[in-house]
Every structure is written in C-alpha cells, then in structure tokens.
Amino acid sequence: MLATLPWVILTPVSASDLGAESTLDGVRLHWSSRELLIDRFWVERRLAGGLEWTRLQDPVAAVRGGSLLRAYEYFDRSAPPGGPLEYRLVGQLADHREEILGTLTVQHDALAALGVRLFPVRPQPFRAGSSFEFALPASRDVDLEVFDSAGRRVAVLAQGAWPAGRHAVAWSGLDFANRRVPAGVYFVRLVSAAYRETRRVVLVR
C-alpha cells in the first residue's frame, strides 16, 4: 500500500525589479515586493569579488497587509567610491529566518558622477522658495539665471566662483525689483565654461 504524504506548499519569499544607481551622494537601491511573509529587508554590501558581506544599518520595514506590489528603496550613503560594489537584498521573516532575495553589482564612482550638472526641478510645478540644484567637479565660475517665457532675464540666483560639490539655491519668486513674478512658465539656465543647460519649470502661486 502506498503511503499518503501530506501536501506541503512552499511559498518562497521574493522581490522583483532590484536595481541600483550610483549618485553623487552614494548608491541608491530600489526593488518591489508584494511578499506578505517578510517583516523587514536588510541590505548587505561587499567589494566586488570579496569574501565577506557587511550588513548595512537601518533595515527597511516591510508594509504588511494586502497583496499589492509595493516599491522600496535604500540609500547607501557610506558606499566607498572608485570601483564595483556588490549588494544583496535579504528578507527577514517574522520568525527571524532570512532569505536572500537578490544580488547585483554596481560601479560606484562618485568623482565620475560629479560633473557639471543642473538637476531636474522637483516638485514640478514648484512654488516660490523652492531650490534649484547644481553640481560642480571643481571650483569654477557659474551663472544660474531665471528667464520668463519671452526670454527676459528676471533673476540671477548664482554668479561667480563656486566650490566643488552639490549646491542648492532657492528662488524667492521675486524679480530684480523685488516684485513677485506671476505664475507661469519660466526657464532656469546654468552656464559654466562650455557647459550650458536650461530646464523648463512651472511656477504656481
């Protein structure tokens, strides 16, 4: 007589869309999961080809309840620049068991990422007092100006020598005469040596 075995249904924990980007401030990891069994996510890192993983601080708490696919992210601000890094995502269940959900390798070179750049304006539309961000690889002269839709210059936000790094400059929404400009479309332009970039922004009141 054949023995009857009970059915055992294994539900592996999982994550999808695991990705990473090297930024000026570190490495940003992101993933999606609808897993109901996970209590929290841990991120571990090592130099590519290394033997031991280092568990990074501050786990990401999982959203419990429902079965929606949810997006998560982790920002590794301590990532050492200059070479490839390996990351792995670990899911911790309520009973403290752990499952490896995925691994990836990212080339993190903050110096290479740190070129002259005018970053996208967020939120968009924006309100007076919002900041415009730009980055410089070394100390250099910049002109950061605001123009109206007719091409008239209405404000100068930064001019002259600025040090290397990422900078944020707020615009009060005032023109040269300290008058409030009307809501509408404006253009923010950054010029530094051969670099020139303009971004369209919408001001709301």
> pTM of whole model > 0.75?
no
pLDDT digits (tens, 9 = 90+) for 39-57: 999 999 999 888 999 999 9
Across the chain, mean pLDDT equals 83
Q: What is the pLDDT of residue 28?
A: 87
- The pLDDT of residue 5 is above 60: no
- The pLDDT of residue 10 is above 50: no
CA-CA distance, 94 to 115, in Å (whole number)?
44
CA end-to-end span of the chain: 81
Edge-first strand listing for the sheet containing 117-118 = 117-118, 131-136, 165-170
Q: Which residue has the higher pLDDT, 64 or 52?
A: 52
- The pLDDT of residue 187 is above 90: yes
pLDDT tier at 182, thresholds 50, 70, 90 = very high
In the block, residue with structure tokens 């809501």: 183
pLDDT tier at 183, thresholds 50, 70, 90 = very high
Please give the structure tokens belonging to residue 165: 């790094």
Percent residues over pLDDT 70 in the chain: 88
CATH class of 114-204: mainly beta
pLDDT digits (tens, 9 = 90+) for 87-141: 999 999 888 899 999 898 888 766 555 678 888 887 788 888 888 888 888 788 9
CA-CA distance, 76 to 78, in Å (whole number)?
5
Q: What is the pLDDT of residue 190?
A: 94
Dihedral (C-alpha) 24, 169, 157, 159: value to the nearest 10 degrees? -50
CA-CA distance, 128 to 130, in Å (whole number)?
6
Residue 95 in contact with residue 67, Cβ under 8 Å? Answer: no
For the chain, give every residue range classified as CATH 2.60.40.10: 16-111
- The pLDDT of residue 61 is above 60: yes
CATH of domain 16-111: 2.60.40.10
For the chain, give every residue range classified as CATH 2.60.40.1930: 114-204
- The pLDDT of residue 189 is above 80: yes
CA-CA distance, 39 to 190, in Å (whole number)?
45
